[in-house]
Amino acid sequence: MRSRAGVFIGNLLFAALCCCTGPIFLAIGYSAWNEDPGWGWPAAVAAAGAAITLTIPVSAISSTRKEFPGITRRDRLKGGGFPYRDDTFVLLAPRSQQGSPQARLMRADVVEASLVRYNPDGESTFTTHVGNYTPKEFTPLIELRLRVYDSEGTDERGEFEVTGEWRVPSVCLSAITAGRLVVLVEPAAPGAQRAVTPEWPRSALLAGTRTSRLIDLDGRSAELTRRSGRQLQQMRISREAGGVVMTGDTIDLRKLDPYTAARYAALADRYRDRPEDQAPVSEPGEGKRWLADQLPGEEGEFGRVGRRWSRRGGVLVRARFLEMRSTTTFQDHGPVLDTVLRIQPADGTPPFDAARRLTVPMDYLTVLHRTKEVVLAVSPNGRSYVVDWARTNLLTGVTEARVIAPDGRELPVAGRPELIWALMNLLASLGLSVRTPVLDLRKRRLRGVADMVTRMVQDHADPRTCA
């Protein structure tokens, strides 16, 4: 992982190269002014050169903060941060096409998904699109085979399949991995196939990426995350009403108009008598929808460890996204999002919230329905935090972790985030860098930790084997 100083020096050299005329003008103006003092052209040239020269450090500092995903005291939210619970996640995504008034909201399961095209030509630079939240060059084109559940019944099974290519906003990619979408289905024309358009923000809600709650007219709160049947019916009520505002991740019926609130309340009463079970985190067949390997982002690894950082007391901590909000700025490997993180300090002090604009890798966004956690590297003085996407992608399962024992056996660590987290911390505390997702204990430099790693794997019970 790059250091902040390294990024700053690179940006400073680049800015100096781009603004090299500044020091030249400054030198020319100063030399001419010495020969002919006064406020004529020498002073003007020197002033212009000074102004251009001043932009070099200013540009370097600004670019470094933009590129380097560091979180400092200036990013902390005042007043205790957001009044969100720890399990809250608010996702504010670009709006989808609304369809005709006759179109009906239905559920669709993703049977198969594959990347067709994603090839922006911006290298690693930041690109801003004014007034366009979903530019095509930064929106992956995905081929989907959908099974649409038609409540009105178009055949004996009440369902039909459709295959097509759709542009998917990056922040909604997890809905595809989860396998549950909300689609707008147009009325069928005689002899023609029904037009199907995915509704991406609502799909992220139905998939469970965005959490969902409801406060009824009596002030009682109900958890609706992954209650897909009830959510779909609420979405239909909301669409007919022209939209219903969610405060954070909560709909408060006391703030709606009486007619819409009554419809929501009647639906709540029906489900209170017959509660709905939560849908699975991911529908069966996730392997056929796995897009993380096809999209850009850092490969997961146990992580790089700077020896100086480790010796001086640098540590790893975990944080959780509370909110993501789309912006009009993009990089090739992911969108630039306004985020809110809840960070748990390593010293055991109460967690705090921080707001930071970050470039979030697209491969991480594909698993956002499963986890909102990230790994942060903390500076030795505890004043700054850096998002470590390589470790994050290994911890969250974007890349599968593997551990090879000294005798060549593969130890079971895949799908065990708490064990992977413990191994990352062990390596970081000992100053050992492992720049791959494979911890091979047969290597000479890792033999000293082989026994400790083996014991940790044995001591951490595998939840898949527990009754």
Domain co-membership, 323 together with 409: yes
Q: Among all chains, which residue has been given the structure tokens 């020096």?
A: 9
Between 55 and 291, where is the model more confident? 291
47-56, 98-107, 136-145, 432-441: segment of lowest average pLDDT: 47-56
Q: Is the pLDDT of residue 81 over 90?
A: no
Residues paired with residue 82 on neighbouring β-strands, in sequence order: none
What is the average pLDDT across 379-397?
Answer: 93
Q: Does residue 467 form part of some domain? A: no
Domain co-membership, 107 together with 224: yes
> With 0-12 CB in 10 A as exposed, 13-18 as middle and 19+ as buried, what is 135?
middle
Q: Does residue 73 form part of some domain? A: no
What integer pLDDT is reported at residue 464 of this predicted model? 47
Domains of the chain: total: 3
Non-local (6+) Cβ contacts of 248 within 8 A are 82, 84, 88, 90
Q: Does residue 204 form part of some domain? A: yes
CB 226 within 8 A of CB 282: no
Q: Does residue 87 form part of some domain? A: no
Domain co-membership, 388 together with 447: yes
Q: Does residue 120 form part of some domain? A: yes
What integer pLDDT is reported at residue 123 of this predicted model? 65
> Per-residue pLDDT tens for 85-104?
999 999 998 887 777 888 89
Q: Could you tell me the pLDDT band of residue 14, with boundaries at 50, 70 and 90? A: low
Average pLDDT, the chain: 87
Q: Is the pLDDT of residue 389 over 60?
A: yes
Q: Does residue 278 form part of some domain? A: yes
CB 2 within 8 A of CB 309: no
Q: Among all chains, which residue has been given the structure tokens 């809250």?
A: 88
Domain co-membership, 246 together with 152: yes
Domain co-membership, 121 together with 159: yes
What integer pLDDT is reported at residue 159 of this predicted model? 87
CA distance 42 to 7: 36
Last-in-domain residue among 68, 85, 102: 68
CA distance 319 to 341: 6
Rounded to two decimals, the pTM is: 0.85
Domain co-membership, 441 together with 385: yes
Domain co-membership, 156 together with 270: yes
Non-local (6+) Cβ contacts of 89 within 8 A are 209, 210, 211, 249, 321, 322, 323, 324, 372
Domain co-membership, 138 together with 202: yes
Residues paired with residue 251 on neighbouring β-strands, in sequence order: 214
What integer pLDDT is reported at residue 155 of this predicted model? 43
What integer pLDDT is reported at residue 465 of this predicted model? 44
In this structure, the number of other CB atoms found within 10 A of the CB of residue 329 comes to 17
> Per-residue pLDDT tens for 308-360?
888 888 899 999 999 999 999 999 999 999 999 999 998 888 999 999 999 99
Domain co-membership, 318 together with 351: yes
What integer pLDDT is reported at residue 467 of this predicted model? 36
Q: Could you tell me the pLDDT band of residue 70, with boundaries at 50, 70 and 90? A: confident
Q: Does residue 206 form part of some domain? A: yes
Q: Is the pLDDT of residue 461 over 90?
A: no
> Per-residue pLDDT tens for 149-181?
976 444 445 789 999 999 999 999 999 999 999
Nearest residue to 201 (alpha-carbon basis) of 224, 222, 185, 184:
184
Domain co-membership, 330 together with 284: no
Domain co-membership, 277 together with 326: no
Last-in-domain residue among 52, 68, 84: 68
What integer pLDDT is reported at residue 124 of this predicted model? 67
Last-in-domain residue among 288, 320, 335: 288
CA distance 269 to 349: 42
Between 37 and 91, where is the model more confident? 91
Q: Does residue 86 form part of some domain? A: no
What integer pLDDT is reported at residue 60 of this predicted model? 59
CA distance 235 to 246: 12
For 271, list phi and psi in degrees, rounded to 5: -80, -20
Domain co-membership, 137 together with 55: no
Domain interval for residue 327: 296-459
